[in-house]
Amino acid sequence: MASIKFYFAIYVALLLLAVSKVVFMELLDYWAAVGGIMLSAAVKTGLIAGFYQHLVDEPRAVTWVVLMAVAAVLLLASAATFSIT
Amino acid sequence: MSEHGLPPKSSIKRWLVTTNHKDIGILYILTSLFFLIFGGTLALLIRLQLWTSGEFILSGSAFGQAVTAHGLVMVFFFLSPFAFGFANYIVPLQIGADDLAFPRLNALSYWLYLFAGLLFLISFFQGGSLEAGWTMYAPLNLPTYMPNPGASTVVGALLMFVASVTVSTINFVVTIHQMKADGLSLWNLPMFTWSILLTVWMMLIAFAALGAALLILGADHVLDTVYFTEVEGGSLLWAHLFWFFGHPEVYIVFFPALGVMLETFQTFTGRRLIGRKWVILAMILVTLQSFLVWMHHMFLTTINLEIKTLMMAMTIGISLPFDLIVFAMIYTLIKGRIRWTTPFLFNFGALVLFIIGGITGVFLGAIVLDYEFRGTYWVVAHFHYVMVAGGTALFGGLYYWWPKITGKMYDEYLGKMHFGAYFVGFNLLYFAMFMSWEMPRRVFTYHTGFEAYNQMATIGGFILGASFLIMFYNFYQSWYRGPVADGNPWEYSRTAEWATDSPPPLENWEGIPNYEKGFLEFVDRPEGLTDGGHGEDHHDRHPDHASIWPLTISLTTFIGLAGLMLWGEHIVYNTLFIVGLFATLVAAVGFAREDFYAPMPDWGARWPFEGIHKNKFGMWIFLASDIVIFGAFIGAYIFIRWGYGWEAWQTIPPEALPGLVNTFVLLTSSFTVILALVYAQRGNQKGLVASLIATFGLATLFLVIKSWEWNYLLPEAETLPEATIALFTFDWDPLIGTEGPALDASIQHSTYYVTTGLHAIHILIGMIALGYLAIRAYHGAYLDDEQPVENVGLYWHFVDIAWVFLFPLFYIL
Ligand code: HEM
Ligand SMILES: [Cu+2]
């Protein structure tokens, strides 16, 4: 079990990443900002799932289950959206 | 005689409180047969109506309701639950377990299913049920276009059914992975268990998508949102969500039947399945591929040609592993020496029917041919040949396992008569539909040239229906007067359920099943231990088998949902909702507080899920399904916004700031909830209670900010400073005002409110859990077992992650 200090460091990182979303929107043009924001959302998710939900300590297969669910929704959203382009 | 706190089988009370997998299997089978009779009666009504063209015994609306209910009842309330009756009874026996991993959740699944079915039935008495076909295409599924009040109730019933399925999915995934007997590897699982394992993995993803679709549909019904009336793609959105579920669903109903076929072919030919490994691999492949073909149900919509072509190729692709499975079955039959018993006949018949159904499906998978076939009786014939082929195999399964479940033999002669009548009736009925393939489905006026075929089908339908009288008579005779069946009445059976008594004792085995030597043997239960040396802590405690809470929760949910779906129609419904909601809360606390002991084997939890406690594992499986639900909501938003024009879209919150503040609030609560876990592990009660309360407080703050934003900023869009002043001067009128947010103002409003509303409901549920933990922790709980704190934490972090995506999507982009 990791220390409180470690969890706090993650917390700070999460806050900074949250701010980064707004900053991207201010600084970059629209689609670059979309990319940046999604990237920082993905990193945040990785930090929370990996360390707060400590997926890193679970059997790897649990991570695969989660990724499978994520893959399913990415597939649904992208293929459906593509179908009407 | 009472069995470990469980009343005897002759007592009604036993069937209300039991959590034993065999009892619940029997309940599932009986209830599903009831729905078979109900759906079958509707079918005969439909067939009578179609005796001649035009209105005959049913009005147009009654015909529409009958067609819709027939489809939904047969697929959801008969076929799958029938299969899961066997899964409940047989799977634990086949893997050498005493019960499922979560016996109370198993009972909960059953009761949710039963009450969902009752809710469905009630819809007919509310002034018309749903009338949109089992596919419930938009916009016919909406009150604006089909104002039968009962239609909303059907949506609620299906939602409840999805809840039941989700609970049992979690249960079976955990059970099959973690409760296999010592030495039994995944590869060596019996084929029926394999088929159920793959079925539940498909269910996990597919039913979550259906759940999301129904939640959105429910919002359109109850909250008047405008998702599916949206001109730019509303009905396409429904088609995508439904068929993303719907195609896997056809395998979900078929796989258990396939498992029965594979099992009986081995038993009645005396041969091991030829190419067993390849069959398993092919089934795994089908499981994955089933999610890649859904748009072959949408060839006649406006989706683009590229994706149609891709889906056509994928559809051809999915028939390949199926070919392999079919050939392996045929080859096993050729190589073996067949014993023509009733279960074999039904399963052999199922194979023949399935091949016909599969081949005609390939026609439909070709875009050009489907332009011709779509919406005709060809489709109706096709899917009955495949789905009812599945049913046929399952009836074979009922004969096959009847001696195991009842300890009595049925009459072979009557069984064969049943099969004869069934098979003739089936083909008269459905082959006639292939012959009348130019006839449009779901309408009762047809070209008189089709009359002969329709009458042939109607006669076939009645023969098929009547054949079941033979079956019920046979089982009735057998139950009261049949010869006693011993543990293994089939000469060449090879799976573990035949290695114990018929019916098996409450905890299934005398000794402990063990496969370490490569075959099944029983090792002695350690001296002096009544529970057979189960792992974990309470060595002297006997497993529990009774709880009243599953039934109670289902009943209260039923009441609440019945009220919610017709909220505002009548004061009675409003009352029902409020009463049901609070009663459900109370029942849930009762469930949580009950001390129920369901042991896990200590050798369990092997690859690939070794070393993770069943509760945590179950939580992760639940979260996976929740990911799909949230993902489908977000996907729906992206889809609609794209159709609308991404950058032309008006973001609803005029300011990002409240959303950003809420992001900080939630992130902080994620930190405090992890602190709670650390303190629990360190045995620090003060720290634990304080961090739980802090998390609860932050969650409250989140909701306060949220409701302030909902009420002040929207839709009137007052200025931020004004709204803030109002909040802190307790000028809360608008907050509790009667106006309410304008969910139906536009599609932008609908998506924003519904998606963030779903999130807010998650927060509320989390708060209930956190509050419960805090109170228990205050009284000293969790210091020696921090698991509940950890599992609620997992959920809470997930709610945080959902916000990580909602915030940018709905506030800043
Ligand atoms: C080789 C395998 C299969 C292929 C290629 C196939 C193909 C198709 C296609 C393309 C359609 C859409 C037809 C249309 O609406 O125009 C369809 C409909 C349908 N199929 Fe299959 N199918 C196959 C196997 C199955 C199986 C195994 C089941 C169930 C056990 C099944 C159940 C259904 C159902 C229920 C529908 C009708 C949906 C509706 O009401 O519109 N199919 N099939
Ligand atoms: Cu399909």
Beta carbons of A77 and B794 less than 8 Å apart: no
Beta carbons of A80 and B808 less than 8 Å apart: no
How many domains is chain B built from?
Answer: 3
Beta carbons of A65 and B621 less than 8 Å apart: yes
pLDDT of residue B719: 56
pLDDT of residue B535: 43
In 3D space, the residue among B199, B209, B101, B115 whose CA is nearest the CA of residue B153 turns out to be B115
Q: Long-range CB contacts (< 8 A, 24+ apart) of B424-428?
A: B424/B460, B424/B463, B425/B460, B425/B461, B425/B462, B425/B463, B425/B464, B425/B465, B425/B466, B425/B467, B426/B353, B426/B388, B426/B392, B426/B460, B426/B464, B427/B460, B428/B456, B428/B457, B428/B459, B428/B460, B428/B463
Tell me: do B447 and B577 sit in the same domain: no
Tell me: do B494 and B584 sit in the same domain: no
Chain B nearest C-alpha distance from A41 (Å): 6
In angstroms, the CA B345 to CA B410 distance is: 15
Tell me: do B423 and B566 sit in the same domain: no
**Which ligand 1 atom minimizes the distance to the CA of B135?**
40
Would you say residue B715 has pLDDT above 50?
no
B86-95, B276-285, B644-653: least confidently modelled range: B644-653
Chain B nearest C-alpha distance from A21 (Å): 7
**Which two structure tokens, joined as six digits, stand for B476?**
């009735």
Write phi, then psi, for B513 (nearest 5 degrees): -65, 140
Distances B186 to A59, B197, B407, B618 between C-alpha atoms, Å = 17, 10, 30, 19
- DSSP designation for B645: -
Task: Assess whether the C-beta atom of B297 lies below 6 angstroms from ligand 1.
Answer: yes
Residues of chain B found within 8 Å of residue A75, distances taken between Cβ atoms: 291-292
By C-alpha distance, the chain A residue nearest B640 is: A81
Beta carbons of B813 and A37 less than 8 Å apart: yes
- Nearest 5°: CA angle at B138, between B429 and B210? 80
Residue B602 CB contacts under 8 Å (≥ 6 apart), including other chains = B533, B534, B535, B536
Tell me: do B554 and B517 sit in the same domain: no
pLDDT of residue B4: 74
Bridge partners (DSSP) of residue B513 are B522
Domain extent for B482: 12-523
Average of per-residue pLDDT values in chain B: 92
pLDDT of residue B731: 57
Residue B232 lies in a domain: yes
Q: What is the DSSP string of B557-610?
A: HHHHHHHHHTTTT-HHHHHHHHHHHHHHHHHHHHHHHS-------TT---TTST
Residue B72 lies in a domain: yes
In 3D space, the residue among B322, B309, B308 whose CA is nearest the CA of residue B361 turns out to be B322
Tell me: do B514 and B385 sit in the same domain: yes
Residue A35 CB contacts under 8 Å (≥ 6 apart), including other chains = none
Whether residue B197 contacts residue B127, with contact meaning beta carbons closer than 8 Å, is answered with: no
Whether residue B497 contacts residue B94, with contact meaning beta carbons closer than 8 Å, is answered with: yes
pLDDT of residue B730: 57
In angstroms, the CA B375 to CA B413 distance is: 41
Burial of B635 (0-12, 13-18, 19+ CB in 10 A): buried
Q: Measuring from atom 16 of ligand 1, which residue has the nearest CA? A: B374
Enumerate helices (H) and strands (E) in chain B, giving the number of each.
Answer: 24, 2
In angstroms, the CA B29 to CA B24 distance is: 9
- Other CB atoms within a 10 A radius of the CB of residue B672 amount to 22
Q: Is the peptide bond before B190 cis (omega within 30 degrees of 0)?
A: no
Residue B592 CB contacts under 8 Å (≥ 6 apart), including other chains = B772
Low-confidence residues of chain A: pLDDT under 50: none
Q: Measuring from atom 19 of ligand 1, which residue has the nearest CA? A: B383
Residue B211 lies in a domain: yes
pLDDT of residue B362: 92
Tell me: do B559 and B415 sit in the same domain: no
Write phi, then psi, for B182 (nearest 5 degrees): -55, 130
What is the number of the ligand closest to the CA of B375?
A: 1
**How sure is the predictor about B765, in pLDDT bands with cuts at 50, 70 and 90?**
very high
**Which two structure tokens, joined as six digits, stand for B68?**
């819709």
Tell me: do B447 and B495 sit in the same domain: yes
Between the CA of A62 and the centroid of ligand 1 the distance, in Å, is 32
- B231 in A contact zone (CB under 8 Å): no
Residue B340 lies in a domain: yes
With the CA atoms of B15, B193, B620 and B171 taken in that order, what torsion angle do they form, in degrees rounded to the nearest 10? 0
Residue B617 lies in a domain: no
Beta carbons of B660 and A18 less than 8 Å apart: yes
**How sure is the predictor about B709, in pLDDT bands with cuts at 50, 70 and 90?**
confident
- What CATH number is attached to the domain comprising B371? 1.20.210.10
pLDDT of residue B711: 66
Task: Assess whether the C-beta atom of B247 lies below 6 angstroms from ligand 1.
Answer: no
Chain A nearest C-alpha distance from B789 (Å): 12
Q: Long-range CB contacts (< 8 A, 24+ apart) of B183-190?
A: B183/B514, B183/B515, B183/B516, B183/B517, B183/B518, B184/B95, B184/B96, B184/B515, B185/B606, B186/B607, B187/B277, B187/B280, B188/B515, B189/B94, B189/B95, B190/B94, B190/B263, B190/B494, B190/B495, B190/B496
pLDDT digits (tens, 9 = 90+) for B579-605: 999 999 999 999 999 999 999 887 755
**Which two structure tokens, joined as six digits, stand for B744?**
């139906």
Whether residue B104 contacts residue B549, with contact meaning beta carbons closer than 8 Å, is answered with: yes
Percent of chain A with pLDDT over 90: 91
Would you say residue B734 has pLDDT above 90?
no
Strands B521-523 and B512-514: antiparallel
By C-alpha distance, the chain B residue nearest A67 is: B624
Tell me: do B255 and B308 sit in the same domain: yes
Q: What is the DSSP string of B663-691?
A: HHHHHHHHHHHHHHHHHHHHT-HHHHHHH
pLDDT digits (tens, 9 = 90+) for B170-179: 999 999 999 9
Helix (H, G, I), strand (E, B) or coil at B291: coil
Tell me: do B503 and B555 sit in the same domain: no
Residue B69 CB contacts under 8 Å (≥ 6 apart), including other chains = B39, B42, B120, B124, B129, B130
B321-335, B561-575, B599-613, B675-689: least confidently modelled range: B599-613
Task: Assess whether the C-beta atom of B360 lies below 6 angstroms from ligand 1.
Answer: no
Residue B606 lies in a domain: no
* Ligand 1 mutation target, pool B242, B296, B382, most atoms within 8 A of CB: B382
Residues of chain B found within 8 Å of residue A15, distances taken between Cβ atoms: 664, 667
**How sure is the predictor about B231, in pLDDT bands with cuts at 50, 70 and 90?**
confident
Whether residue A19 contacts residue A53, with contact meaning beta carbons closer than 8 Å, is answered with: no
Summarize the confidence of residues B30-49 as an average pLDDT. Answer: 98
In 3D space, the residue among B454, B448, B460, B452 whose CA is nearest the CA of residue B433 turns out to be B454
Which pTM does this prediction carry? 0.95
In angstroms, the CA B519 to CA B438 distance is: 55
Summarize the confidence of residues B40-56 as an average pLDDT. Answer: 96
As for the ipTM of the complex, it is 0.98
- B291 in A contact zone (CB under 8 Å): yes
pLDDT of residue B722: 62
pLDDT of residue B532: 41
Beta carbons of B632 and A44 less than 8 Å apart: no
Nearest to A65 among B302, B610, B624 (CB): B624
- E strands in B422-470: none
Tell me: do B512 and B566 sit in the same domain: no
**Which two structure tokens, joined as six digits, stand for B4?**
């470990």
Beta carbons of A83 and B801 less than 8 Å apart: no
Would you say residue B459 has pLDDT above 80?
yes
**Which two structure tokens, joined as six digits, stand for B162?**
């999805």
Tell me: do B556 and B492 sit in the same domain: no
Query: End of a domain among B538, B561, B590?
Result: B590
Residue B616 lies in a domain: no
Bridge partners (DSSP) of residue B544 are none
Q: Compute the Cα dihedral for A26, A32, A37, A40 and give only its sign.
A: negative
Q: Using alpha carbons only, how large is chain A's radius of gyration in Å?
A: 16
pLDDT of residue B717: 42
pLDDT of residue B602: 78
Which residue carries 């969650």 as its tokens?
B699
Whether residue B173 contacts residue B204, with contact meaning beta carbons closer than 8 Å, is answered with: yes
Mutation to test the A interface, candidates B651, B670, B677, B698, most A Cβ within 10 Å: B670
pLDDT digits (tens, 9 = 90+) for B196-219: 999 999 999 999 999 999 999 999
- What CATH number is attached to the domain comprising B780? 1.20.120.80
Nearest to A15 among B292, B643, B664 (CB): B664
Tell me: do B222 and B359 sit in the same domain: yes
